[in-house]
Amino acid sequence: MGQGRGWEGAVLKLLRAKDFTFTVTDTEDVTDDYRRLRFTDGGLLAAAGVHPTMWARLWFDNAGKPHQRAYTLVDPDPATGTFALEFALHEGCASDWARAAKPGDTIEATLQGTGFDHPEPAPSHVLAVGDPASLPAINSLLGALGSAPATIWFEGTLDGLPSAADPDRHEVREVPRRDAGAGLVERVRAELPDLLRATPDPYVWIACDTATTRTLSAFARKELGVPKQRMQALGYWRAT
């Protein structure tokens, strides 16, 4: 990027974040509103290795100001230094960049804050909440947690989207987005408690818009008593 990254970039630098340049090698329109871009990694995978739900912060130009968003690496291959990123397209500078991206384009990225701790004991049932923005992470999570059954509340529809859900083990409960996420909150509040009680070693994973994630995380932790080591919650985007 041609300009500094403001206070966010300064904080990440203090935290010893590592910077890389990704180069677009291929593009694919999965649906009208979902685009997959393939990249070479600029040395990231050789330097950092790979873990489930691994993500990197991409830096976009937003009317002359730096804007960062995190994206999950899809099918990372350390041997070739390649991976894909999937973009749920809506309004905003990140989606605008993804729509226009073509082979040879580059984007700056920072690696800091990503990680994954395998829950012990292994989950007897995975309870995940997400949306198109976190779908790549959901797919990675399902692959990482083996044969455990899963219930997934998905805000939106999976029609045409690349889902790793296995109908024999994973139940997807699609929830239309309404009232800035209130519909999803209502469904999860109504249905999560019984599922938690029905399994000995549940694991809860929440990744949707920041406000919804915060609300559901507090519900799981404070009202349902889910221990912090049995859940993970990440705000993937901010509603405007």
Q: What is the CATH number of the domain that holds 42?
A: 2.40.30.10
> Which amino acid is located at 52 in the chain?
P
Tens of pLDDT, residues 106-145 = 999 999 877 888 899 999 999 999 999 999 999 999 999 8
Q: Are residues 103 and 26 in the same domain?
A: yes
Whole-number pLDDT of residue 3: 44
Three-class DSSP category at 140: helix
Instruction: Measure Cα distances from 89 to 139, 172, 191 in Å.
Output: 18, 22, 29
Q: What is the CATH number of the domain that holds 145?
A: 3.40.50.80
Number of Cβ within a 10 Å radius of residue 104: 8
Residue 120 lies in a domain: no
Residue 75 lies in a domain: yes
Are 204 and 195 within 8 A, CB to CB? Answer: no
Residue 73 lies in a domain: yes
Taking each helix axis from N to C terminus, what angle separates 182-197 and 210-218, rounded to the nearest 10 degrees? Answer: 30
**174, β-bridge pairs:** 154
Q: What is the DSSP string of 183-235?
A: HHHHHHHHHHHHHHHT-SSEEEEE-SBHHHHHHHHHIIIIIS---GGGEEE--
Domain interval for residue 157: 125-233
Whole-number pLDDT of residue 10: 54
Kindly report the backbone phi and psi dihedral angles of residue 76, in degrees, each rounded to the nearest multiple of 5, phi listed first: -65, 135
Residue 240 lies in a domain: no
Q: Are residues 81 and 169 in the same domain?
A: no
Q: Are residues 103 and 181 in the same domain?
A: no
State the total domains in the chain: 2
With a cut of 50, which residues of the chain have pLDDT below it?
A: 1-3, 11-12, 14-15
